Amino acid sequence: MKKLYLCTLRYVNYKQLIVRKLYLFIGLILCVTLPFSAVSQEDGTKKEKTKKEKKAVNPDFKHKFTTFHLEARADFEYNYEHDEWGYVSSLGVPSHGEVTQHNYGFRGDYFNFLLGGDIGKHISYFFRQRIIPAKGVTELFDNTDFLYIQYNFNDQWSLRMGKEAIFVGGYEYDAPPIDVYYYTHYWGAFPCFLLGVSAAYTDKSGNNKIVLNVANSPYVKYLDNRWNSGLLSYNLYWSGKFGPFSTLYSVNFLEYQRGKFINFIALGNKLSFNKWSIYVDYVNRAAGFKNFFKDFSVVSRLDWHVSPSVNLFAKGGYELNSAGYYYTPNGHEYPVDVDMLMSNNLAHSFYGLGVEFLPRVYPDLRVHAFVANSVNTLPRDIVGDYGFQDMTLTANVGVTWRLDFMKFLPAKLKN
């Protein structure tokens, strides 16, 4: 009995010893891990607090890409050109000549990089750069079409600063250059991308927009290429939409000399339906009331969307500049250009037909073809003044490709 008691006592003591060692081991583990767990918990709390603080500073400051792509166009073009010219000598003897040329070949017309985005609810930006080897002649951003930042006060009011196309009405003028295949003399000679500032108001329906724009004048390009010559432009623009009918109207005052203005009245009118659309633009340019309707451009384009992949179009126009005048110092007559976009008494007419094809499997690729004819006429109306008429028949086939990086970016970069 005594032996049994001693064995039981030893067993109890041994069990207590094991429990004590176990408690000691657990205590050591807690002593080591608790500080680290406390630090980890504190770090997590700090990180969570930092996130909340960032959100509290500006919860709307979030960037979102709206545009991010490259675009390029390459054409094969054939031109048949027939020129006739002549003048009248001081003895009253006319002389003339003519020449016919065949010009053709492949060429790259456009290679652009476009980038745009929204920064929060109020700020947006847009950038379009023509990637060409020639450096600018007039200013640093000569090859940059758009580089502006815009602040939206609300859904109705906005303020924009930077470089963009000055606000002139008309649908030919409004179209991206890469989509304009043949065009008016005015469109090809008008340097529209200029630095400036503009304020815009859009009504609650979103159908009417009014813009007041102040920028450098396009005529700085014709005044010794000096952007700082003090020539500015003042532009009032309205775009409206009334069902199938829409408008792009503007009244513009462009300085061509310090304190002297050429007034533009641009009226762009368009009808759009399911299968077809047509626009008619009229642009009147005048340096005074006496010169109204002496310097103008009229252009129209009809589009017939045969299918989602095929579009047929016809385009034509007529232009005239008879606003110039002559002065005769010392008995010699000299022409004076009021509107430097076109020569005095020059008349330009053109017309053509074309087709566009966008494959359904890859609509970012576009194939086009067109045939167009244009005629420039400058009459011989005074002694010693050259006159000419040239006719150019153009056949063109080309490809336009847009590489939209937004389609390849991860979803997180789009949000």
Q: Provide Rg for the chain, Cα atoms.
A: 35
Together in a domain, 145 and 12:
no
Task: Find out whether 79 and 400 touch, Cβ atoms under 8 Å.
Answer: no
d(CA 318, CA 152): 40
* Structure tokens given for 185: 């003399």
* Structure tokens given for 236: 């009032």
Largest CA distance in the chain: 159
Together in a domain, 196 and 313:
yes
Q: Is 48 helix (H, G, I), strand (E, B) or coil?
A: helix
Q: Residue 25 belongs to what domain range?
A: 1-57
d(CA 86, CA 64): 60
Together in a domain, 35 and 130:
no
Q: How many domains does the chain have?
A: 2
Is residue 35 within a helix (H) or strand (E), and if so which, with residue range?
helix 2-57
Together in a domain, 34 and 64:
no
Domain termination site, one of 37, 57, 77: 57
What residue type is assigned to position 182 of the chain? Y
Cα dihedral 87, 89, 91, 93 sign: negative
DSSP 110: E
Domain termination site, one of 13, 31, 57: 57
Together in a domain, 250 and 200:
yes
User: What are φ and ψ of residue 99, in 5° steps?
Assistant: -150, 145
d(CA 11, CA 27): 24
CA distances from 142 to 86, 107, 132, 145, 148 (A): 37, 21, 11, 8, 14
What residue type is assigned to position 69 of the chain? H
* Residue 31: other Cβ atoms inside 10 A: 9
Helix, strand, coil shares of the chain, percent, nearest 5, are 20, 55, 25
Together in a domain, 294 and 347:
yes
pTM over 0.75? The answer is: yes
Together in a domain, 77 and 171:
yes
DSSP E strands, 19-62: none
What is the residue-level pLDDT of the chain in tens, covering all 415 positions?
Answer: 444 443 444 444 545 655 565 555 455 444 544 444 444 455 555 555 555 555 554 656 688 888 999 999 999 999 999 988 776 665 666 677 888 999 999 998 899 999 999 998 899 999 999 887 655 555 567 788 999 999 999 999 999 999 999 999 999 999 999 999 999 999 999 989 999 999 999 999 999 999 999 999 988 876 665 666 788 999 999 999 999 999 999 999 999 888 888 899 999 999 999 999 999 999 999 877 677 778 899 999 999 999 999 999 999 999 998 876 655 566 555 555 667 777 778 899 999 999 999 999 988 999 999 999 999 988 765 545 667 889 999 999 999 999 998 887 766 555 5
Can you name the residues that pair with 254 across neighbouring β-strands? 233, 262
Together in a domain, 46 and 78:
no
Task: Find out whether 318 and 338 touch, Cβ atoms under 8 Å.
Answer: no
Can you name the residues that pair with 313 across neighbouring β-strands? 303, 354
Together in a domain, 106 and 233:
yes
| CA atoms within 13 Å, Cβ hemisphere of 280 | 2
Together in a domain, 31 and 108:
no
Domain termination site, one of 10, 30, 57: 57
d(CA 317, CA 175): 16
Together in a domain, 20 and 163:
no
CATH number of the domain within which 246 lies: 2.40.160.10
354's CB contacts (< 8 A; 6+ apart) are 181, 312, 313, 314, 315, 368, 369, 370, 371, 372
Together in a domain, 157 and 187:
yes
